[in-house]
A and B are shown apart, each in its own frame.
Chain A
Amino acid sequence: MSARRTLKTWAQDHVSQLALAPTGVLALVFVYGFILLTIYLSLTDSRILPSYNFVGFEQWERLWGARRWWTAVNNLLLFGSLFIGFAIAIGMALAVFLDQRVRAEGVIRTIYLYPMALSFIVTGTAWKWMLNPDLGIEQVFQQWGWTSFQFNWLVQKDMAIYTVVIAAVWQSSGFVMAIFLAALRGIDASIMQSAMVDGASMFRIYRRIILPQLRPAMFTAFVLLLHMAIKSFDLVIALTNGGPGNATDLPATFMYTFAFERSRLGIAAASATMMLFTVVAIIVPYLYAELRAQNRDRRD
């Protein structure tokens, strides 16, 4: 009887922890446990089926010796830097323009943002059709009178990766615009007014006062876009399917191919681990800083 009562009071005292427990268990198993399993898998001789035969870094040596892996890494560097650069430049420019008390702002914003609701598979399918060299944009300009116009990047080995950049920027730049617009709206208008009274030009005000205040937004956009770039998978599958050849392979498509098509689970696990480490190197410091800043805000 009394044991039951103490159990009950204990449960009442720890109700918050108990409510969180199921999710905690799920996270422990399906996030942390599975991460450890994948890392372990990368140290075994798994091929078609997972095996628990420990072989050290053999699979990692294979991965690092594979030319296809380095193609994927190089593509990620190229794709990632162009995608992030263009998405931030376009997103920031559009936010600054939209912040000039323009007419029909709501409509324009809606148009800029709708691609975010689409899946990368749909986006890839649409752009694949628009960029196809026979009947796509190339033909449009030729029919409009620019007969020498050529645009066949989609089927060019060294240009295809840029088509992935175009489609990815199309999909994500509106979202970056929204991040910057939210930041611009949060800037104290009185600073701007006093600068204007002092006779500073618009250009100067933006360069000296507004843009420096957008740094946190810039940082946020950068981290989110980098995260998206590393995870990019569907868009490449739908747009180029990694081709021509494997010219547009990214680590994510590499991992998928080696896991499910070439049945080299060990190598696939090693490549997945590489992806995780890259993300962790970026995200963990970011989350740590954000959560600390939040706690500081709350205490003040």
Chain B
Amino acid sequence: MIAEVVTGQQGMLDRILRWSIYVMLIGFAIFYLAPFYVMVVTSLKSIDEIETGNLMALPQNVTGYAWNEAWNVACIGTDCRGMAPYLLNSLMASLPATIIPTLIGAVNGYALSLWRFRGSELCFGLLLFGAFIPYQIVLLPMAQFLGAMGWSSSIFGLAFVYSVYGLPFTTLYFRNFFASFPEDLVNAARVDGIGFFRFFWRVALPVSVPIIVVSVIWQFTNTWNDFLFAASYTDANSATSMVALNNFVQVATGVKRYNVDMAAAIITGLPTILVYVVAGRYLLRGLMAGAVKG
């Protein structure tokens, strides 16, 4: 009898606890989703409705005006071609800066993990340091270097910068990935006279697809989202979408067109959101590897 009462009470307490957990979890889900919701509804409203209505309210008359403006018409500086050309710039900088460091990083990580030599750990440590520096420390010499090479204000120059500073990350991913690779297999191959590159192409690279995905997603997301390098090394023609978005939102004169701002922000953020929705697991793995342990 008593036992039943006690467990009954405990059951009650348990239920209250569980409910409060759900309330907290849902509350935070709303907190994280709210800005996205506000962006979407704002981008579908007219200016009048924004000024008279409520931030959180659904649009009463859905209009594509802001999206059309943001995509085709919006002015960045004196150039009124919308966001589209800048998205293309971002893509042209991000694609090579995704593919090239991933390939080189794969070879590096493979060498550092499976073909270790005396001092290879030190090499790795010295290279890894490059992943943690605040980029302000290289900003000025790099500007001079790009100028000297004639790569100032060019997409090529930007892609080069992204590639160089992406290498520590991609190397880290592949090194940690290959660290769990059976070393006996490598030694056996070596005894059989199979060379470094043959083993890499035939055995190592084919099994490293998961970490290639991590590396590709990391490099793409990071370069797409970069602002510091892009703002420092591009001009009106070569600006990436982040620079264009910021200019567009900050510099606009006259009435603030929040709906166009939000449409432009969604357009700019969409590629990385899509990557996250499709392959969020891999993005997280890349981020976690930033904590060194793979």
Contacts and interface: CB of A to CB of B under 8 A. Distances in A.
Interface of A: 12, 14-17, 19-20, 22-24, 26-27, 30-35, 37-38, 41, 50, 90, 93-94, 97-98, 100, 102, 108, 110-123, 125-130, 135-137, 139-140, 143, 170, 174-175, 178-179, 182, 220, 223-224, 227, 230-231, 233-234, 237-238, 241, 251-252, 255-256, 259-260, 265, 268-269, 271-273, 275-276, 279, 283-284, 287-288, 290-291, 294-295, 298
Contact of A15 (B115, B225, B227, B268): B115
B88 interface: no
A31 B232 contact: no
A224 B290 CA distance: 8
Contacts of A298: 179
Contacts of B226: 119
A23 B171 contact: yes
Contact of A272 (B54, B104, B139, B288): B139
Nearest to A20: B111
Interface string B95-109: 000000000100110
Interface stretch (B58-66, B79-87, B122-130, B203-211): B122-130
A182 B288 contact: yes
Contacts of A272: 134, 136-137, 139-140
Interface string B31-53: 11111101100100000001100
A283 B132 contact: yes
Given A19-B111, A256-B136, A256-B139, 6 more contacts: A17-B111, A110-B280, A125-B261, A130-B35, A175-B284, A265-B140
Contacts, number: 259
Given A23-B167, A233-B228, A275 B18 contact: no
A119 B228 CA distance: 12
B283 interface: yes
Nearest to A167: B35
A234 B135 CA distance: 13
Interface residues of B, number: 94
B287 interface: yes
Interface in B111-125: 111-112, 115-117, 120-121, 123-125
B284 A113 contact: yes
A118 B55 contact: no
Contacts of A126: 35-36, 38-39, 262, 265
Contact of A179 (B138, B139, B195, B291): B291
Contact of B140 (A115, A120, A268): A268
Interface of B: 18, 21-22, 24-25, 28-29, 31-36, 38-39, 42, 50-51, 54-56, 104, 107-108, 111-112, 115-117, 120-121, 123-130, 132-142, 144-145, 164-165, 167-168, 171, 179, 195-197, 221, 224-228, 231-232, 242, 245-246, 249-250, 258, 261-262, 265, 268-269, 272-273, 275-277, 280, 283-284, 287-288, 290-293
A132 to B, nearest CB: 8
Given A108-B25, A126-B262, A276-B134, A121 B242 contact: yes
A80 B173 CA distance: 28
Max chain B Cβ within 10 angstroms of own Cβ: one of A119, A170, A265: A119
A259 B24 CA distance: 45
A20 B112 contact: yes
Contacts of A279: 132-134
Contacts of B125: 287-288, 291
Contact of A38 (B124, B141, B245): B141
Given A117-B280, A178-B284, A275-B136, A140 B130 contact: no
Contacts of A97: 21, 24-25
B225 A118 contact: yes
A130 B38 contact: yes
Given A41-B140, A117-B221, A135-B55, A230 B134 contact: yes
Nearest to B180: A298
Nearest to B116: A16
Contacts of A123: 35
Contacts of A100: 18, 21
Given A17-B117, A255-B136, A256-B228, A175 B265 contact: no
B119 to A, nearest CB: 9
A244 B15 CA distance: 48
B136 A290 contact: no
Contacts of B116: 16
B291 A224 contact: yes
Given A179-B291, A276-B137, A112 B29 contact: yes
Contacts of A110: 277, 280
A23 B127 contact: yes
18 contacts: A16-B196, A20-B108, A23-B108, A38-B140, A93-B24, A102-B25, A117-B275, A118-B225, A119-B269, A119-B272, A120-B225, A121-B225, A127-B35, A128-B249, A178-B288, A241-B250, A271-B136, A276-B136
A244 B221 CA distance: 31
Nearest to B165: A30
A223 B131 CA distance: 14
Contacts of A223: 291
A11 B209 CA distance: 29
